[in-house]
Every structure is written in structure tokens, then in C-alpha cells.
């Protein structure tokens, strides 16, 4: 695995912007019960990034299989496809400076159209789809763009309150250029009323922050008679310019 | 009004949830045939330079119960203290060592096993050397934002004593929470999410 994207650019070596922890959900969100015993209680040790946080692994496009970004077919029997509403999810990986992040590895996972995960711990009544595994991955292009094809996941009940339901969502895991940018989040769908009732979503204090996790229906990006499209941009931590050979990077 | 800085804000984190394996270690949870192997499952090959070591890591909740649905990623320098990363400008790292690994905790025991090499020392911002260490990133159901910490080595007492990050820990009784105990070629490391032995987690 070697760097391919952005290899003609001088690598950036600055420290990442301080993470705004008031924008993220706090560790302890009691209405999401599992967080109660899994949330650190002591103050975090703060320090500016060292090389251990500034550096990070690079995943090359060579590792990708042909169907990695096609969840409709990557687990399906030959000639068959997953059941459900066919959608395309696309967007860009950006950093807080608004710059596209090329070469970012994105990994996705989700329930099937009925809201059931292919996992031995999931016992929901909705059936498994023999043609749906639920995982995919992509690497962002030069402008930070990515896309994949899937079916819209169903909402499902989960053991938290007596009657809590997760909104339809797709899990995203993202690698940027430094290990300190590592992020896992979830994408929700425009117009879903369950978003505003979900204890996991509501752990995020600011409504404006929640709205950044809601993908927009984009009719202009649909494939007529095939799939609707949802646009979802992801923002990773930005990085400061660093002194490089006594000149500021980029000057 | 001043001009806008035109900055974006980082996407807020959400928990990895109970089914993180589907996305990050599908072969481990029985979803075969999509990827040939799980990413990060193997860290060393025959040509990798350095001392072979094993890490045995558990993540314990506030009752002392090991998490059985957590996922740990590690990131480390090679045997010479170089990172296999474009942002490493001091030289080329060992081409036979990627430096990154990923492991789901065992669904019955909660144990995470990494087979890797002992990293070399990496310079701090001021040029002094940090003690050998491995960066950990931990996600799980109930963890809203991935937890960042480090694993240091019990047989590096002298280096640990001069490590600038360990030196910043105000309550010295907490320093041992970051030090893995060596038994043979294996280092044992328990991460405590809460309680008296709560691991020092980082904001960096």
C-alpha cells in the first residue's frame, strides 16, 4: 500500500486544529444508556500533536475490489441484487479549511432494507437478505470526492428505552492524512422524523451540528429509472501551516 | 463585522455501535467474500525489522467488565522510530512494516491480540526523544467519540522517565495506566474506561 493520491504535492506536516469537544457528543449521554459505564470521567490530557498524531497510514486504490463501493452487489449471488430502495450516496471528504482530502479511506456499514444487520448479535424480527452483506468501502479522489451504491437501510428498534427506534442510518469510518483525524460517524436521511427522537443523535448538543449529519436528497444526481441520490459531505480536522525549511508551507 | 474565516466544522462523531465489525472486520464476524482479508489483521512479515512482540489488550467498563464489542486500532513507528507516512520527513520507514493494525475484541473474552514489533523512539516537538510507544484508538457501542491514548512499555523505565507526554500527567499515580506489563514477549495492557484506575485519555 503506497501513496498515490496527492503524491505530487508536498506532504503537509502541521498539527491539527484543536478539536471542538462541545460540538461532538460528550462522553456521558445518560439517555443513551450504554454510555453511562463506558464514558471516561477524568479530564483528558491535552497536548499539541506530536509526530505520532500528525502521521497516519495511507491506503492505496490498489487494495480496492471492483464491487467494494457497490453494496447492492458485493455480497449478492451472481445475477442477483440486494432488496430495497436503490440509492447512491456521494459527497466529498473535506477538512475544516474547506480543502478536499484526497486518498481518504471511507468504510461504510449498515442494516438491510428491513432494518436487520448481518450480525449474530442482532435478533430483530426483520429477515436477513441473502444478497446483502452490509459493508463497503471507497477511497476519495483528488478533490476528496467519493460515491457508493447501496439500498436505503430500514429503521429498527433497539434496547435502550422500552420503545426506542434508530432512524435509518449508514455508519461511516474515515481516515484522513493524520491519525488524529480518525473519525467514525453516522449519516442520516433528509426528512426522517426519527432523527429528532433518537437518544444517540440527541447526544449531540447543537441542532446545527446534527444537521451536518443529515444527507440531502439530490434529484440532479439520481440515475433515472435506477437509483435516487443522497449527498453527504464529511469534514475532518483541519491542520495548521508548519514551518518547513524556515518557510511557511504553501508560501 | 469582520470578514468570515470560511472555516468548516468537523463532522460530529457518533458511536461505532454494536455492529462495528460488519464495516471494519467483516471476515471476523462471518461476512466472507466481500474483502479478501480484514484490514490491519496482519502487521508484520518475515522481512519486518525489529523485535517481535505481542500485545494483549482489554477494555474494561466502569464495573470492571471487559467490553466484548470494542474495536481497537493501533499506530506506531517502525523499529528505527520512523512512521510509514507521507508526513514523515526524516527518512523512509521500513517498507515491510505498515505501522497500523486493527483488532476487534474477542466476542467471548474481550481480548484483543496484536502481533507487532517494538517501535523505536520518535522525537517530540522540541527534538528530545519520546519513549517507545504505540498510539491506541478505541471505539465501541456507548463510546460517543473515539478514545485516544498510548501504550508504553514496562521494560523502558529510563525512556519512560524522560518522556515528555508522561511527564505532563499531573497525578503521578495515573502514569502506570499507560504502561503495559511485559511477560516474555507479550505485553499486557488493560484500558479502564472509568474508576480509580481510569486510563489517561488524550485530547490532542
Look up the CATH number of the domain holding residue A136.
2.60.130.10
Contacts of A180 (CB under 8 A, 6+ apart): A16, A49, A53, A54, A56, A237, B148, B204
| Neighbour tally for A3: CB within 10 Å | 16
What grid cell was written down for A145? 470526492
Give pLDDT tens digits for A14-24: 999 999 999 99
**Minimum-distance CB partner of A57 among B31, B67, B100:** B100
Active site residue A86: no
For residue A193, is it within any domain?
yes
Q: Is residue A43 part of a domain?
A: no
Paired residues of A216 in beta bridges: A231
Collect all residues of chain A within an 8 Å Cβ-Cβ radius of residue B86: 3, 6-7, 11, 58, 177
A161 pLDDT more than 70: yes
What CATH number was assigned to the domain covering residues B20-192?
2.60.130.10
How far apart, in whole angstroms, are the C-alpha atoms of residue B29 and residue B20?
10
**The pLDDT value given to residue B179:** 98
**Element (DSSP H or E) covering residue A234:** strand A234-236
Q: How confident is the model at residue A247 (pLDDT cuts 50, 70, 90)?
A: low
Average pLDDT in the B88-92 region? 95
Grid cell digits, residue B156: 523502558
In whole angstroms, how far apart are CA A72 and each of A131, A140, A148, A153?
Answer: 8, 20, 10, 12
Checking if the pLDDT of A5 tops 50, the result is no
- The one catalytic residue among A19, A24, A73, A171: A171
Q: Which residues of A touch B204 (CB under 8 A)?
A: 45-50, 53, 180
Is B33 within 8 Å of A75 when comparing Cβ atoms? Answer: yes
Q: Is the pLDDT of residue A1 over 50?
A: no
Whether the per-residue pLDDT at A25 is higher than 90: the answer is yes
A169 is catalytic: yes
Q: Which residues in chain B have their CB less than 8 angstroms from residue A65's CB? A: 34-36
Contact residues for B40 (Cβ-Cβ < 8 A; gap 6+):
B73, B100, B101, B102, B103
Tell me if residue A32 is catalytic.
Answer: no
Q: For B159, phi and psi rounded to 5 degrees?
A: -65, -40
Kindly state the average pLDDT of the residues B113-133. 97
Report which of A18, A83, A15, A82 is spatially closest to residue A46, judged by C-alpha positions. Answer: A18
* B86-97 mean pLDDT: 96
- What's the pTM value of the predicted model, to 2 decimals? 0.96
Q: Compare all CA atoms of chain A with the CA of B199 and give the residue at the minimum distance.
A: A40
- CB of A27 within 8 A of CB of A33? no
Q: Is A117 a catalytic residue?
A: yes
pLDDT of residue A11: 85
Asked, for residue A186, whether it belongs to a domain, the answer is yes
In chain B, the percentage of residues whose pLDDT exceeds 70 is: 100
Closest alpha carbon to B175 in B198, B195, B204: B198
How does pLDDT run across B26-44, given as a tens digit for each residue? 999 999 999 999 999 999 9
What would the mean pLDDT of A75-93 be, rounded to a whole number? Answer: 98
Average pLDDT over residues A207-216: 98
pLDDT at A245: 47
Rounded mean pLDDT, A143-171:
98
Residue B52 contacts residue B182 (beta carbons within 8 Å): no
What's residue A4's pLDDT? Answer: 46
CA nearest neighbour of A107 among B21, B60, B202: B21
Average pLDDT score, chain B: 97
Of A57-61, A242-246, B199-203, which gets the smallest average pLDDT?
Answer: A242-246
> What CA–CA distance (Å, rounded) separates B105 from B89?
34
Domain membership of residue A39 (yes or no) is no
Would you call A32 and B142 a contact, using CB atoms and an 8 Å cutoff? yes
User: Cell 493520491 belongs to which residue?
Assistant: A5
Residue A32 lies in a domain: no
Instruction: Please list the alpha-helical segments (H only) found in B151-197.
Output: 157-161
Structure confidence at residue A248 (pLDDT): 55
CB pairs under 8 A between A and B: 266
Q: Distance (Å, rounded) from C-alpha B69 to C-alpha B29? A: 11
In B61-178, beta strands by DSSP E: 70-75, 100-104, 112-117, 133-140, 147-153
Residue among A11, A23, A48 whose CB faces B9 most closely: A23
CA-nearest of A184, A94, A120 to B8 is A94
Give dist(CA A156, CA B7) in Å, integer: 36
For the cut 70, the answer to whether the pLDDT of residue A234 exceeds it is yes
Choosing from A19, A24, A73, A117, which is the catalytic residue? A117
Q: Which residues fall within 8 angstroms of residue A78, CB to CB, at 6 or more apart? A: none
Q: Sketch the domain layout of chain B as residue ranges.
A: 20-192
Hey, are the CB atoms on A19 and B199 less than 8 Å from each other?
no
How many angstroms separate the CA of residue B18 from the nearest CA in chain A?
Answer: 8
- Whether A60 and A3 have beta carbons less than 8 Å apart is answered as yes
B86–chain A nearest CA distance, Å: 6
* DSSP β-bridge partners for residue B60: B66, B192
Residue B43 near residue B114, CB atoms below 8 Å = yes
Residue B16 has pLDDT above 70, yes or no: yes
Give yes or no for residue B197 having a pLDDT over 60.
yes
Minimum mean pLDDT among A84-93, A156-165, A235-244: which range? A235-244
Tell me, yes or no, whether A45 lies in a domain: no
Whether the CB-CB separation of A132 and A112 falls below 8 Å is answered with yes
Which one of the listed residues A32, A90, A156, A230 is annotated catalytic? Answer: A156
For residue B120, is pLDDT > 70? yes
Q: What confidence score (pLDDT) does residue B14 get?
A: 98
Mean pLDDT along residues A111-133: 97
> Coil, strand or helix: which one is A201?
helix
pLDDT level of residue B129 (50, 70, 90 thresholds): very high
Residue A105's H or E segment, with its range, is strand A105-109
Closest residue of A to B15, CA-based? Answer: A185
Range(s) of the domain holding residue A159: 64-236
Number of domains in chain A: 1
Integer Cα distance of A16 and A53 in angstroms: 9
- Does residue A240 carry a catalytic annotation? no
The reply to whether A37 falls in a domain is no
Task: Name the residue among A75, A178, A236 with its Cβ closest to that of B87.
Answer: A178
Average model confidence (pLDDT) for chain A? 94
Mean predicted confidence (pLDDT) in B69-76: 98
Q: What local confidence, expressed as pLDDT, does residue A127 receive?
A: 97
Q: Compare CB distances from A121 to B18, B26, B89 and report the shortest one's residue.
A: B18
Question: Which residues from B are below 8 Å from A231, CB to CB?
Answer: none
Helices vs. strands in chain B: H and E counts, helices first:
2, 9
CA distance B122 to chain A (A): 7
In this structure, is residue A147 part of a structural domain? yes
Determine the Cα–Cα distance for residues B91 and B76; give it in Å rounded to an integer. 15
CB contact under 8 A, B14 and A201: yes
Torsion-angle region of B22 (φ positive above 0: left; ψ -120 to 50: alpha; else: beta):
alpha
Amino acid at each position: 500500500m503506497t501513496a498515490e493520491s496527492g503524491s505530487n504535492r508536498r506532504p503537509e506536516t502541521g498539527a491539527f486544529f484543536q478539536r471542538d469537544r462541545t460540538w461532538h457528543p460528550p462522553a456521558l449521554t445518560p439517555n443513551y444508556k450504554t454510555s453511562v459505564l463506558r464514558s471516561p470521567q477524568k479530564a483528558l490530557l491535552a497536548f499539541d500533536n506530536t509526530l505520532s498524531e500528525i502521521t497516519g497510514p495511507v491506503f492505496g486504490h490498489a487494495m480496492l475490489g471492483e464491487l467494494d463501493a457497490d453494496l447492492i452487489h458485493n455480497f449478492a449471488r451472481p445475477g442477483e441484487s440486494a432488496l430495497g430502495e436503490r440509492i447512491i450516496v456521494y459527497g466529498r471528504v473535506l477538512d475544516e479549511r474547506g480543502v478536499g482530502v484526497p486518498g481518504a479511506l471511507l468504510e461504510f456499514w449498515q442494516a438491510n432494507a428491513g432494518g436487520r444487520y448481518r450480525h449474530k448479535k442482532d435478533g430483530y424480527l426483520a429477515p436477513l437478505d441473502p444478497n446483502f452483506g452490509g459493508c463497503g468501502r471507497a477511497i476519495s479522489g483528488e478533490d476528496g470526492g467519493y460515491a457508493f451504491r447501496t439500498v436505503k437501510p430500514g429503521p429498527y428498534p433497539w434496547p435502550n428505552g422500552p420503545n426506542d427506534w434508530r432512524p435509518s442510518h449508514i455508519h461511516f469510518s474515515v481516515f484522513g492524512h493524520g491519525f488524529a483525524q480518525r473519525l467514525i460517524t453516522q449519516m442520516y436521511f433528509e426528512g426522517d422524523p426519527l432523527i429528532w427522537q433518537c437518544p444517540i443523535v440527541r447526544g449531540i448538543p447543537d441542532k446545527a451540528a446534527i444537521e451536518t449529519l443529515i444527507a440531502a436528497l439530490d434529484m440532479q444526481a439520481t440515475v433515472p429509472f435506477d437509483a435516487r441520490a443522497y449527498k453527504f459531505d464529511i469534514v475532518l480536522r483541519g491542520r495548521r501551516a508548519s514551518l518547513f525549511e524556515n518557510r511557511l508551507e504553501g508560501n | 463585522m469582520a470578514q468570515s474565516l470560511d472555516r468548516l466544522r468537523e463532522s460530529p462523531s457518533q458511536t461505532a455501535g454494536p455492529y462495528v465489525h460488519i464495516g471494519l472486520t467483516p471476515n471476523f464476524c462471518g461476512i466472507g467474500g466481500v474483502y479478501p482479508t480484514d484490514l490491519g489483521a496482519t502487521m508484520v512479515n518475515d522481512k519486518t525489522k525489529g523485535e517481535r512482540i505481542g500485545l494483549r489488550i482489554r477494555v474494561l467498563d466502569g464495573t470492571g467488565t471487559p467490553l466484548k464489542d470494542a474495536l481497537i486500532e493501533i499506530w506506531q513507528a517502525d523499529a528505527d522510530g520512523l512512521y510509514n507516512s507521507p508526513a514523515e520527513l526524516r527518512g523512509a520507514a521500513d517498507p515491510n512494516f505498515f505501522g497500523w493494525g486493527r483488532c476487534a475484541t474477542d466476542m467471548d473474552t474481550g481480548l484483543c491480540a496484536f502481533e507487532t514489533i517494538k517501535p523505536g523512539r520518535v522525537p517530540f516537538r522540541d527534538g528530545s526523544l519520546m519513549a517507545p510507544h504505540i498510539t491506541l484508538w478505541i471505539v465501541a457501542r456507548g463510546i460517543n467519540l473515539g478514545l485516544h491514548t498510548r501504550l508504553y512499555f514496562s521494560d523502558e523505565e529510563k525512556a519512560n522517565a524522560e518522556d515528555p507526554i508522561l511527564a505532563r500527567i499531573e497525578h503521578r499515580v495515573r502514569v502506570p495506566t499507560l504502561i503495559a506489563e511485559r511477560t516474555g514477549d507479550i505485553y499486557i495492557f488493560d484500558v479502564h474506561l472509568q474508576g480509580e484506575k481510569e486510563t489517561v485519555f488524550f485530547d490532542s
